[in-house]
């Protein structure tokens, strides 16, 4: 009987831990609330032409120590390019590291789903929570979909580290309130 109770307790604790792990990540709004301009700020660093290569986000951290401001982004709507096209608003096509900062606005509280798309690596944070991560090379593809809890309407800080090694590039985001339509995030909800 004692073994049965111990097993039942372990099962209950496992269910509680599983439920806690799947709970939406609670975002922290910007404080104070800003009155930002449209778009997102970006800083770029360039590793040089191949055979030099940015292989991972550790290299991005190293390169960004020497990053320089670039032309602001309109949002996170940079569809897959053709090989050799510039990355985002930078004038090079390969081995580009970027640090993107600003805000994203949620018009209502609730649980949302966020999904980053990248080619290649990304480390994306909103409201103090990591919402997208990929530490390698990939074609323009979705990273994980993340549920977040937005406690109040308003602006939330956004920070993304991104790299493009070679080939084509993309950086995009989808969003939607849980249970509602999931769409590409419009550029007008981003501020800097």
- Domains along the chain? 26-191 (2.60.120.1560)
Beta bridge partners, 145, equal 115
- pTM of the complete model: 0.87
**C-alpha distances in angstroms, 174 versus 56, 161, 187?**
24, 17, 11
Res 52: pLDDT: 80
| Distance, CA of 23 to chain centre | 19
Res 51: pLDDT: 79
**Segment-wise mean pLDDT, segments of 10 residues, the chain, 192 residues:** 49 45 92 98 93 91 97 97 96 96 98 98 98 96 97 98 95 97 98 98
Alpha carbon distance 33, 160 (integer Å): 20
């Amino acid at each position: 009987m004692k073994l049965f109770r111990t097993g039942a307790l372990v099962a209950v604790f496992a269910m509680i831990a599983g439920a806690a792990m799947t709970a939406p990540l609670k975002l922290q709004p910007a404080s104070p609330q800003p009155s930002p301009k449209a778009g997102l700020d970006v800083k770029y660093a360039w590793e040089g032409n191949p055979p030099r290569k940015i292989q991972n986000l550790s290299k991005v951290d190293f390169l960004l120590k020497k990053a320089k401001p670039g032309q602001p982004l309109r949002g996170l709507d940079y569809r897959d390019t053709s090989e050799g096209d510039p990355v985002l608003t930078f004038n090079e096509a390969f081995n580009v590291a970027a640090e993107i900062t600003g805000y994203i606005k949620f018009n209502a509280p609730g649980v949302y789903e966020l999904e980053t798309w990248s080619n290649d690596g990304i480390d994306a944070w909103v409201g103090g929570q990591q919402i997208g991560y990929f530490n390698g090379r990939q074609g323009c593809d979705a990273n994980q979909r993340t549920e977040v809890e937005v406690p109040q309407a308003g602006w939330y800080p956004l920070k993304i580290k991104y790299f493009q090694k070679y080939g084509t590039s993309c950086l995009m985001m989808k969003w939607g309130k849980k249970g509602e339509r999931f769409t590409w995030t419009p550029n007008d909800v981003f501020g800097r």
